[in-house]
């Protein structure tokens, strides 16, 4: 349960970000005593948290953080924000996530579980509506954009690492996230209003979109970390995730 400490050592990668910080606060709130953060910049200070400042795409930085934190559970929320361009996305989301997985799988690593923050955007091409999708839906042939293309690549690496070299993995795909600490969504909405870009609409006014409160997204990460390996439905599935295929209503 969320109120029960698990006696694990947690490393929240991207733990100075919007979602990452909520995950850190919830871990501390349920009494976890070993909580560390790895981030490229330190945005908050807390004497109960060990901060490791480094670049995810630098294998030495992440190895150092894993070793010093003695992490048993890694929650990977780090990603460049939208609007930064393909080279940065590839560097962090693809090369950084690969470096993290490899570091977790090192024989000397203490990490048992890796929870990855993916995105609902990984299954959306922008061409068709998606209703009632679940995790078995396939990736679109053409990703929505460079950001989502690299989120797909990272998610595939994470899921295909499940059960390899003693590591258990899973990915969570949030839709838009709102709540305290948001630095993207509300400022984006505000920018649209300020620029007078609100005088047109897409569709016939029946379109639906998902938004989730940041505390609930953070809670989902804690539940995933707690349950991974015991009740995770694909824990024993060894086929690459691309082979799962169902049609979506
Ligand atoms: P955020 O920008 O607030 O947090 C991301 C954190 O990652 C930042 O603290 C940043 O400094 C860190 N980071 C970036 N590059 C790094 C690097 N090279 N090395 C180490 N740390 C690095 O973003 P967020 O909104 O909290 O998003 C968290 C995750 O959730 C991301 O993976 C994002 O793709 C995913 N997501 C977010 C939303 C949303 O609406 N915010 C929706 C779906 C998925």
Contact status, residue 75 vs residue 225, Cβ threshold 8 Å: yes
Centre of ligand 1 from the C-alpha of residue 20, in Å:
8
80 Cβ inside 6 Å of ligand 1:
yes
14 Cβ inside 6 Å of ligand 1:
yes
15 Cβ inside 6 Å of ligand 1:
no
Structure tokens at 229: 């390996």
Pocket test for ligand 1, best of 36, 61, 77, 209 (most atoms within 8 A of CB): 77
Structure tokens at 207: 């379109």
Contact status, residue 37 vs residue 43, Cβ threshold 8 Å: no
Contact status, residue 175 vs residue 220, Cβ threshold 8 Å: no
154 Cβ inside 6 Å of ligand 1:
no
pLDDT for residue 82: 81
Q: Which residue has the tokens 């984006």?
A: 188
**Which overall architecture, per CATH, does domain 10-243 show?**
3-Layer(aba) Sandwich (3.40)
Write the DSSP symbol of residue 81. Answer: P
The model's pLDDT over 129-163, given as tens digits with 9 standing for 90+, comes to 898 888 889 999 999 999 999 999 999 999 999 99
Q: Are strands 49-53 and 73-76 parallel, antiparallel or unpaired?
A: unpaired
Pocket test for ligand 1, best of 11, 13, 16, 19 (most atoms within 8 A of CB): 19
Pairwise CA distance, residues 15 & 134, whole Å: 27
The model's pLDDT over 41-72, given as tens digits with 9 standing for 90+, comes to 999 999 999 999 999 999 999 999 999 999 99
List of E strands, the chain: 10-13, 35-39, 49-53, 73-76, 113-117, 168-172, 176-178, 211-213
Residues of the chain where predicted confidence (pLDDT) is lower than 70? 1-3, 230-249
Dihedral over Cα of 96, 98, 102, 104: its sign? positive
Active site residue 151: yes
Contact status, residue 244 vs residue 138, Cβ threshold 8 Å: yes
pLDDT for residue 231: 57
φ and ψ of 197, to 5 deg: -100, 30
Catalytic residue selected from 4, 151, 199, 227: 151
Centre of ligand 1 from the C-alpha of residue 237, in Å:
28
Torsion, Cα of 221, 224, 226, 232 (10° steps)? 180
The verdict on ipTM greater than 0.90 is: yes
Task: Identify the burial level of 210 via C-beta atoms within 10 angstroms of its C-beta, where 0-12 means exposed, 13-18 middle and 19 or more buried.
Answer: exposed
55 Cβ inside 6 Å of ligand 1:
yes
71 Cβ inside 6 Å of ligand 1:
no
* Average predicted confidence (pLDDT) for the chain: 90
Which residue is closest in CA terms to ligand 1's atom 27? 19
pTM over 0.90: yes
Pairwise CA distance, residues 17 & 197, whole Å: 28
């Amino acid at each position: 349960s969320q109120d029960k400490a698990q006696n694990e050592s947690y490393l929240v990668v991207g733990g100075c970000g919007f979602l990452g910080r909520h995950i850190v606060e919830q871990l501390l709130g349920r009494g976890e005593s070993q909580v560390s953060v790895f981030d490229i910049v330190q945005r908050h200070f807390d004497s109960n948290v060990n901060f490791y400042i480094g670049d995810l795409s630098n294998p030495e930085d992440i190895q150092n953080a894993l070793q010093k934190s003695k992490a048993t559970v890694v929650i990977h929320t780090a990603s460049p924000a939208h609007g930064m361009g393909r080279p940065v996305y590839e560097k962090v989301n693809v090369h950084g996530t690969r470096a993290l997985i490899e570091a977790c799988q090192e024989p000397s690593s203490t990490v048992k579980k890796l929870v990855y923050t993916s995105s609902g955007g990984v299954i959306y091409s922008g061409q068709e509506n998606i209703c009632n999708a679940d995790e078995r839906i396939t990736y679109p042939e053409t990703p929505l954009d460079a950001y989502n293309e690299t989120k797909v690549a990272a998610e595939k690496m994470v899921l295909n690492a499940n059960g390899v070299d003693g590591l258990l993995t899973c990915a969570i795909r949030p839709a838009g996230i709102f709540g305290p600490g948001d630095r993207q969504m509300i400022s984006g909405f505000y920018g649209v209003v300020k620029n007078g870009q609100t005088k047109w609409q897409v569709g016939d006014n029946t379109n639906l979109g998902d938004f989730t409160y940041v505390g609930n997204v953070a809670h989902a990460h804690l539940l995933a970390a707690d349950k991974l390996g015991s009740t995770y439905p694909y824990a024993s599935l060894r086929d690459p995730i691309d082979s799962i295929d169902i049609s979506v209503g």
